[in-house]
Amino acid sequence: MTRGGRTKDREAPSERRCLVTGEVQPKAGLIRFVAGPDGVVIPDLAEKLPGRGFWVAADRPTLEKAVAKGLFSRGAKAQVKADADLIDGIEAALARRVVELVSLARKAGDAVAGFEKVKNWLADGKARVLLQASDGSDRGKGKLWTPPGGRWFGCLTASEIGLAFGRDHVIHSALAPGGLTDKVIRDASRLNGLRGQMGSSTAVKDAGTDER
């Protein structure tokens, strides 16, 4: 607090300021970057790399602005450059992270796939996250619901979710509460910013895939 009783504009430990927008927000909605030894910007999705970190909101337009206007140099307080495929690389890396986390949750018994299993988990209050394929039909996906107090994500394709479950494709999956699920929520939220919730725009017409 200041002497006048006002709260100082200071980020909390779980918050950071976006170097593009100037807004302070939870770290879950931002991506950390560091400058590599060769002066190239490196995304630090695990938030563990050494060095001065600078943060950008996890959405494609903001990241594109950071690249186009060279704003990473301002965050690094040094002249740095971004690879041409930086944003696409971040998107691909986030998708891999979400798939790997869901796979680990499955092996721990904290994730299920398939319409009936997911529906049962939702009905029994076991699910915290409903994850549905972006290329699944809206008609099939609309038969399930977001867990009360939980989250829904539609940022992975059926083949990507399928990788997590050892199948060719999966449309519906659910995750129980827990540490792995918290990490899925963090990375899937960031992936949404790169891809968006694509279910309605890329829905397939084949209703036969609904029950996977």
Using 50, 70 and 90 to split pLDDT, how confident is the model at 133? very high
Amino acid at 167: R
DSSP state at residue 81: B
Identify whether the C-beta of residue 115 lies closer than 8 Å to the C-beta of residue 172. yes
Across 138-157, b (16+ Cβ under 10 Å) vs e yields: eebbeebeebeebbbbbbbb
CB 144 within 8 A of CB 132: yes
Q: Is the predicted pLDDT of residue 59 greater than 50, yes or no?
A: yes
Mean pLDDT of the chain: 89
Under DSSP, is residue 63 helix (H, G, I), strand (E, B) or coil?
Answer: helix
Domains of the chain: 15-83 (3.30.1230.10), 89-195 (3.30.1330.30)
* Cα 191 from Cα 197, distance rounded (Å): 9
Confidence of residue 12 (pLDDT cuts 50, 70, 90): low
- Tell me the pLDDT tens digit for each residue of 66-101: 999 999 999 999 999 999 999 999 999 999 999 999
Phi-psi region of 121 (alpha: psi -120 to 50; beta: other; left: phi over 0): alpha
Strands 30-35 and 24-26: unpaired
> Above 50 in pLDDT, residue 199?
no
Q: Which of 33-37, 84-88, 156-160, 196-200 has the lowest mean pLDDT?
A: 196-200
Written as one letter, the residue type at 20 is V
Mean predicted confidence (pLDDT) in 35-49: 95
Q: Does 146 score more than 90 pLDDT?
A: yes
**Short-list 139, 99, 146, CA closest to 121:** 146
User: pLDDT value at position 197?
Assistant: 63
Q: State the average pLDDT over residues 160-171.
A: 98
Band (196; pLDDT cuts 50, 70, 90): confident
Query: What mean pLDDT do residues 48-60 have?
Result: 95
Check pLDDT > 90 for residue 60.
yes
Closest to 115 in 3D by CA, of 155, 149, 161: 161
Measure the CA–CA gap between 131 and 206, rounded to whole angstroms. Answer: 19
CA–CA distance, 123 with 121 (Å, rounded to integer): 5
